[in-house]
Amino acid sequence: MCSKIVQVVPTKEFTVYVYFEDGKIVCYDVKPLLEKEVFAVLKDIEYFMKTCTIMNDTLAWDIAGNRDNTKCIDIDPDTLYKLDAVKEKIA
């Protein structure tokens, strides 16, 4: 099992910096997913940024806007943890 996700920081480039409890940081590129129907709602960059959060112990987008874990889009945390580590990008 991978380390716990403690913070997610979305960017205007449709990427998300994901911070793990063990100090690992990865950058997840969401752009390839935007063509899939379930992710289409995230094409609006403001919505992408506003709804990006941690739900179900992983990177997610709170689609319903009410923290309902069954109404979110989330990414498998193991998929995220397997990405190459990156240096922190200071905003």
Mean pLDDT for the chain? 94
Split into its structural domains, the chain has a count of 1
Quick: pLDDT tens for 35-71. Answer: 999 999 999 999 999 999 999 999 999 999 999 999 9
Task: Give the domain range for residue 66.
Answer: 5-81
Q: Looking at the domain assignment, is residue 29 inside a domain?
A: yes
Is 45 within the bounds of a domain?
yes
Q: Please report whether residue 90 resides in a domain.
A: no
Asked if the model's pLDDT at residue 75 lies above 60, the reply is yes
Q: β-pairing, 15-20 with 25-29?
A: antiparallel
- Say which CATH number the domain at 17 has: 3.30.2020
Which SS3 state, helix, strand or coil, does residue 20 take? strand
